Amino acid sequence: MSAKRVFAEIKRGLEPFVGNKIKLKANRGRRRIIEKIGVLENIYPNIFVVCVDEKQVKRRISFTYADILTDTVQVTVFDGDKNIRITADGF
């Protein structure tokens, strides 16, 4: 499957959850793993943006769909009483 098609599938998987609360686990290299809870703010053609509250300051963090494909970022969506993990393979 081509990379463009996989990225489009990941984007389609995230689109219904814009505005929902999500949990991010991102590997930033050199043993730096960050875990944040925020709101999926917006979806763009190449990136998605998450708004995170940190010490009374709102911060926006952007990630690419390739980050999800390579498991650099793990996204879990809180949808009601169930948690949905977004992966390149589907849900």
pLDDT in tens, 19-69: 999 999 998 888 899 999 999 999 999 999 999 998 889 999 999 999 999
Q: Any idea what the CATH number is for the domain that residue 78 is in? A: 2.30.30.100
So what's the pLDDT on residue 42? 95
Domain contains 33: yes
Domain contains 63: yes
Domain contains 91: no
Name the band, by pLDDT with cuts 50, 70 and 90, for residue 1: low
Per the structure, the count of domains in the chain is 1
Domain contains 57: yes
**Which residue range forms the structural domain that includes residue 27?**
3-86
pTM recorded for the entire structure: 0.85
Domain contains 19: yes
Domain contains 44: yes
CA 26 from chain center: how many Å? 9
Q: Are 28 and 36 within 8 A, CB to CB?
A: no
Q: Are 6 and 18 within 8 A, CB to CB?
A: no
Q: Please name the helix (run of DSSP H) or strand (run of DSSP E) that holds residue 67, with its range, or none.
A: helix 65-69
Domain contains 49: yes
Q: Are 66 and 73 within 8 A, CB to CB?
A: no
Contacts of 65 (CB under 8 A, 6+ apart): 6, 7, 10, 11, 46, 47, 48
Which pair of structure tokens corresponds to residue 17? 């959850």
